[in-house]
Homo-oligomer: A and B are copies of this chain.
Amino acid sequence: VSTETYHRNDRGRITLRDIAERVGVSVNTASFVLNGSRSGTRVSEATRKAIWEAAAELGYTPNALARSLRQQRTNIIGLYCNFEFLQARNLFLSDLVGGLQEGCAELGYDLLLHSFGSGSTVEALRASLMDNRVDGLVFYAPPSHGFGSLLAQGPVPVVAVVDLVSEMPSVTVDDIEGGRLQAQYLAARGHRRVMYRQYVRPPVSAQRREAAFKAQASTLGMQVVDAAPFGRFREHSLTPNDLAQLRSGVTAIVCWEDNSAYGTAVELDKLGLRIPGDVEIVGFNGLRTDQPLRWEIPTVEAPWRAAGQTAIRILTDLIDGKDVPRETVLPVGFVPRP
């Protein structure tokens, strides 16, 4: 079929056609030899060799786009994360995404981090996630967002991480047990009146922690008072009202996650309070760097990396048409840091 219509594409990339022409064989034979299967057919050793040689000489690289278009499969998993970019301060996100990477490496997928302009409509977003570039999608966003259910109805398998999204399989850590453990720890340490510092717009996971903590605290006979919630901007100072509460006999503070807990510690320290002597502070997440900390705050250790990895496993099962559990909950532990 003609050197006529054929011309190298823009970048001078080598295609199956190039090597087929050079060897004097048809494109699909080359395809069969270089890229794998074809029904019950076999090709002679001689042609095979010729084809391989031509491919090596010309530096042939299969076009994954064409292959994917054909096979309806890209071996890419997408990540939709609505919160923030990776950054040094956010240990949690780094571990989570690291887990996703690890899971992908294990199972032979690449991981696509979707960007989205701030001005994009929900519909544009949906389209850009469902445009056939990924075999499956990991979803990490506030459920209130309402976007989860939209995606869940789409043609692409989706798995939620961190926060339960009822419309799709979800991978979470045991926030409820975590909340309980916090209460048990504080009760055992003799605290009778504690303060809870929640995020201003708590995700499902944080709500679960809080509810479980309060239930358990109540069971154990501890009083819980609410502090004003944390705002969005890593601002940890306590309101005058919080301080008044503190002075009313509160001896411990539970924070919805570690950064807030450390921030709280710093604030109390500024006020001349000792930690944990005057006030004990408890957090959630348990992630560490190698840098030695000023205080070791007792916390719930949550396996975020494993959560990422597990999400990938579940997602790939889904892609392969297997059944998967509706919610997968990973166990947490408590680190007392004595």
Contact = CB atoms under 8 A, between A and B. Distances in A.
Contact of A64 (B93, B133, B289): B133
Find the residue from A69, A117, A295 having the highest chain B CB count within 10 A. Answer: A69
Interface string A1-21: 000000001111100000000
Given A12-B155, A87-B305, A289-B88, A117 B94 contact: no
Given A86-B94, A102-B85, A132-B13, A110 B108 contact: no
Nearest to A99: B85
A113 B90 contact: no
Interface in A54-96: 61-66, 68-69, 72, 74, 76, 85-95
Interface stretch (A192-200, A261-269, A324-332): A261-269
A286 to B, nearest CB: 10
Interface residues of A, number: 68
Nearest to A260: B290
Interface in A251-272: 258-259, 262-263, 265-266, 269
A290 B263 contact: yes
Nearest to A109: B115
A260 to B, nearest CB: 9
A111 interface: yes
A212 B254 CA distance: 48
Find the residue from A64, A72, A115 having the highest chain B CB count within 10 A. Answer: A115
Given A13-B155, A68-B65, A293-B291, A108 B101 contact: no
Contacts of A115: 101, 104-105, 108-111
A187 interface: no
Contacts of A287: 88
B290 A293 contact: no
Contacts of A68: 65
Nearest to A68: B65
A305 B116 CA distance: 19
7 nearest CB pairs, A to B: A88-B91, A86-B98, A64-B131, A105-B115, A292-B294, A85-B98, A94-B94
Interface of A: 9-13, 61-66, 68-69, 72, 74, 76, 85-95, 97-98, 101-102, 104-105, 108-117, 126-127, 130-133, 155, 234, 258-259, 262-263, 265-266, 269, 287-295, 305
Given A88-B98, A269-B292, 15 more contacts: A61-B132, A62-B131, A65-B69, A65-B131, A86-B98, A88-B92, A88-B289, A89-B290, A101-B113, A110-B112, A110-B114, A259-B289, A262-B292, A289-B291, A292-B294
